[in-house]
């Protein structure tokens, strides 16, 4: 297909995304794993082999994450991973259920996007330029972007929304993917967020509205009942927008394990 190889972000992020595409071909039948368009990830705490499997996938892929990981085990697991010479960082794991759907509907009833913007849901018909422009804008906001096939809704059920101005330039993004393995017990959830806004357009509630639109679409058209996001502690703009959308802190964290030769400081995404 003509957009088979659309990858975005830094060289290291692109390497991980390409390896993930191939690793998923091998691991899709295993409910310990999910593919979220960035990488093959672990579904929470997979039991006694957790550390060995995290380390193995991180070495193979260059990076790996685990969502729904119990907060009270995070310190011990991070320390064990670091002893193996890998880097480990954590995100606070936020989730919204029906409250998020209701909050999102409330936001859409109250606010409107600025008149100069149009919202597009990426699909196989979207031009390569539009996909690349949205990906570049999101990457400039330090958010790791999914592969083009995933953003176009091809490899995983889900949606990617972009707001574009009258010149066609990308202004803001939001997404959600129903990526958790069908046998993981988590498959009603979406890995949601991707909230970005170009710096010169911040403060206009654009990301808030796009986030709300994505929640309503995922709930109504895709049966999503949990909206999950990993947020770096202290990312106040992100926390503010998520909380306004009813996506709130949980007792889980997201763990990110990286090969320190590829990711300086261990950081994958905001
Ligand atoms: C997160 C981000 C999209 C927010 O964009 P924004 O244009 O500031 O947000 P909005 O205008 O949609 O704001 C929505 C609400 O959040 C509030 N908010 C934004 N930044 C805030 C901050 N630093 N502290 C408290 N509230 C904040 C706004 O005041 C607004 O609330 P209001 O309705 O009461 O006025 C933007 O900062 C961004 O692109 N950041 C970099 C990428 C990133 O970190 N994304 C999140 C990844 S998890």
**Predicted pLDDT at 270:** 72
| pLDDT at res. 268 | 73
pLDDT digits (tens, 9 = 90+) for 203-217: 999 999 999 999 999
Q: Identify the pLDDT of residue 265.
A: 64
In a domain, 34, yes or no: yes
Task: Identify the band that residue 262 occupies on the pLDDT scale cut at 50, 70 and 90.
Answer: confident
What is the pLDDT, as a whole number, of residue 3? 57
Mean pLDDT of 238-260: 97
In this prediction, residue 87 carries a pLDDT of 95
pLDDT at residue 1 is higher than 90: no
Between CA 9 and CA 35 the distance in angstroms is: 18
Q: Is 242 within the bounds of a domain?
A: yes
Assess if residue 128 is contained within a domain. yes
Distance 207 CA to ligand 1 centre (A): 7
pLDDT tens for residues 25-57? 999 999 999 999 899 999 999 999 999 999 999
Which residue range(s) make up the domain with 108?
11-266
CB 163 within 8 A of CB 117: yes
Ligand 1 centre and the CA of 22: distance in Å?
Answer: 35
> CB of 145 within 8 A of CB of 9?
yes
| Strands ordered across the beta sheet of 33-35 | 33-35, 40-43, 63-70, 248-258, 87-96, 226-231, 189-197, 170-177, 158-164, 118-121
> How many separate domains does the chain show?
1
Q: What percent of the chain has pLDDT over 70?
A: 97
What sign does the CA torsion over 63, 141, 176, 127 have?
negative
262 CA distance to ligand 1 centroid (A)? 30
In the numeric block, which tokens belong to residue 166? 């009258």
CA 72 centroid distance within chain: 23
Whose structure tokens read 């209701």?
Answer: 102
Instruction: Work out the number of other CB atoms within 10 angstroms of the CB of residue 239.
Output: 19
User: What is residue 4's predicted lDDT score, i.e. its pLDDT?
Assistant: 65
Which CATH number fits the domain that encloses residue 82? 3.40.630.30
Counting atoms of ligand 1 from 1, which one is nearest the CA of 231? 48
Q: What is the pLDDT of residues 157-175, one digit of tens each?
A: 999 999 999 999 999 999 9
The answer, yes or no, to whether any atom of ligand 1 lies below 6 A from the CB of 198, is no
Question: What length is written for the chain?
Answer: 270
Burial 198-237 (b: 16+ CB within 10 A, else e): beebeeebbbbbbbbbbbbbbbeebebbbbbbbbbeeeee
Q: What is the mean pLDDT of residues 7-14?
A: 91
Residue 1 lies in a domain: no
Of 205, 270, 208, which Cα lies nearest the Cα of 242? 208
Average pLDDT value for residue range 134-148: 95
Mean residue pLDDT of the chain comes to: 95
2 found inside a domain: no
Q: Nearest C-alpha to atom 40 of ligand 1 is from which residue?
A: 196
**Which value, in Å, is the radius of gyration of the alpha carbons in the chain?**
17
Q: Is residue 3 part of a domain?
A: no
For ligand 1, pick from 241, 256, 269 the residue to mutate: most ligand atoms within 8 Å of CB: 241
- Let me know if residue 127 belongs to a domain: yes
Give the mean model confidence (pLDDT) for residues 241-255. Answer: 98
The verdict on residue 5 lying in a domain is no
């Amino acid at each position: 297909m003509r957009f088979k190889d659309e990858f975005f972000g830094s060289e290291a992020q692109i390497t991980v995304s390409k390896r993930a595409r191939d690793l998923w071909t091998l691991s899709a039948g295993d409910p310990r794993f999910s593919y979220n368009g960035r990488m093959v990830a672990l579904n929470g705490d997979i039991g006694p082999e957790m550390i060995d499997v995290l380390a193995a996938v991180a070495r193979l892929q260059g990076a790996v994450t685990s969502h729904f990981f119990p907060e009270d085990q995070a310190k011990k697991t991070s320390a064990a991973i670091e002893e193996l010479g890998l880097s480990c960082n954590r995100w606070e794991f936020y989730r919204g259920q029906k409250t998020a759907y209701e909050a999102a509907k409330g936001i859409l009833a109250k606010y409107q996007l600025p008149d100069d913007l149009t919202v597009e849901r990426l699909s196989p018909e979207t031009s390569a330029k539009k996909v690349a422009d949205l990906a570049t804008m999101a990457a400039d906001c330090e958010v790791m972007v999914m592969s083009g096939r995933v953003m176009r809704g091809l490899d995983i059920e889900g949606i990617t929304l972009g707001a574009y101005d009258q010149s066609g330039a990308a202004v803001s993004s939001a997404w959600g993917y129903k990526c958790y393995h069908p046998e993981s017990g988590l498959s009603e959830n979406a890995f949601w967020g991707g909230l970005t806004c170009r710096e010169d357009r911040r403060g206009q509630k654009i990301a808030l509205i796009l986030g709300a639109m994505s929640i309503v679409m995922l709930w109504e058209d895709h049966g999503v009942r949990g909206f999950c996001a990993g947020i770096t502690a202290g990312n106040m703009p992100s926390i503010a927008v998520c909380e306004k959308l009813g996506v709130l802190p949980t007792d889980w964290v997201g763990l990110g394990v990286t090969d320190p030769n590829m990711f300086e400081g261990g950081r994958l995404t905001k």
